[in-house]
């Protein structure tokens, strides 16, 4: 006869199995019963007492083995688990091939856990289906121009995964309005007009553009990439420093290293810091101030970047971008 002592509490109906075991047969029954009840505790589906006698010897070993395997899968931080998650990221296939090492990395797992919790507990933008919209709209091998933003717009209805762009029907944010002003100054014609708009609001333009949706740019090969892909409502830069910058830096490096003759438009200090990733001998890098009202008059207005971009593309046998 053996006495088995356990340091944690068992259900009362298990005590007769725990205290005294008279044979090997009894030990196996104890283990089977314990395994079943352990699983019932973990799964929150208690096994009724009347069913205890129907437990088959050895079944507990099988179930406990499965339990251990599943627990290991849940807590294991191995490459297999990360790859399983990576397969769930909905992103255009050519970009997946370039960024797979990021999806397989430990930092990306931490990042996605943070983003998932943020979307579950707070209001975040853009909507989940648009987080990778810049990549989905502009495949890796179709990129001709890169425009970098910081983080998505943080008010309702604005952000849809493309930097500086807003969804149709949303008022133009100040930075985007300044971008349109510069376009009009460069090309000498207004964007599509909206009846009744104030003709003084966009400089040389006769009216405001009728939409701030820049999806047409993305479809032509303009990668409209924010360096942080998500944000909490009303809190600019709230998701900065969580890992997105590492991910988007990897995308910039992939383009800089594996492609040639791309035009990088770097507006503002944060974007210009990415210049270190880009070989100016392979690509065209254009820098100036950010189009924000706080800095647009410090060099963005008059930069002529859109015309210079199209000139470079034409010189290298590519179709220019229809900006307006």
Can you tell me whether residue 124 is helix, strand or coil?
Answer: strand
Question: Using the 8-state DSSP alphabet, how is residue 155 labeled?
Answer: S
Where are the alpha helices (H) located in the chain, listed in sequence order? 15-19, 24-43, 59-75, 79-86, 93-103, 106-121, 133-137, 174-187, 215-219, 244-258, 269-272, 305-315
Q: Which sign, positive or negative, has the C-alpha torsion 30, 35, 36, 37?
A: positive
Can you tell me whether residue 297 is helix, strand or coil?
Answer: helix
Tokens of 179: 């971008």
- CB count within 10 Å of CB 320 equals 16
Q: What is the DSSP string of 253-294?
A: HHHHHH--S-EEEEESHHHHGGGGGS-TTTSEEEEE--SSTT
Residues with a known catalytic role: 151
Tokens of 213: 């949706």
Q: How far apart are CA 275 and CA 151, in angstroms?
A: 18
Phi-psi region of 283 (alpha: psi -120 to 50; beta: other; left: phi over 0): beta
């Amino acid at each position: 006869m053996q006495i088995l002592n356990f340091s944690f509490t068992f259900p009362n109906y298990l005590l007769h199995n725990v205290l005294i075991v008279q044979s090997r047969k009894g030990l196996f029954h104890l283990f089977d019963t314990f395994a079943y009840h352990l699983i019932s505790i973990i799964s929150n589906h208690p096994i009724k007492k009347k069913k205890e006698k129907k437990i088959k010897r050895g079944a507990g070993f099988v179930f406990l083995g499965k339990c251990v395997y599943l627990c290991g899968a849940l807590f294991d931080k191995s490459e297999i688990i990360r790859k399983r998650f990576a397969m769930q990221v909905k992103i255009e296939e050519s970009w997946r091939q370039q960024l797979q090492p990021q999806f397989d990395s430990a930092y990306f797992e931490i990042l996605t856990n943070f983003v998932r919790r943020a979307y579950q507990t707070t209001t975040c933008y853009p909507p989940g289906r648009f987080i990778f919209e810049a990549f989905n709209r502009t495949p890796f091998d179709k990129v001709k121009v890169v425009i970098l933003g910081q983080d998505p717009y943080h008010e309702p209805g604005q952000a849809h995964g493309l930097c500086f762009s807003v969804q149709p029907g949303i008022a133009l944010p100040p930075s985007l309005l300044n971008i349109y002003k510069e376009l009009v100054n460069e090309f000498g014609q207004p964007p599509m007009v909206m009846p009744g708009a104030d003709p003084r609001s966009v400089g040389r333009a006769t009216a405001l553009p009728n939409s701030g949706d820049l999806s047409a740019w993305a479809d032509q090969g303009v990668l409209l990439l924010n360096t942080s892909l998500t944000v909490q409502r009303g809190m600019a830069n709230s998701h900065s420093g969580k890992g997105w910058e590492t991910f988007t830096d990897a995308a910039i490096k992939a383009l800089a290293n594996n492609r040639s003759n791309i035009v990088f438009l770097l507006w503002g200090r944060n974007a210009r810091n990415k210049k270190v990733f880009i070989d100016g001998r392979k690509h065209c890098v254009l820098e100036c101030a950010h189009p924000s009202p706080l800095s647009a008059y410090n060099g963005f207005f008059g930069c002529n970047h859109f015309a210079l971009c199209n000139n470079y593309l034409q010189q290298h046998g590519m179709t220019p971008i229809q900006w307006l």
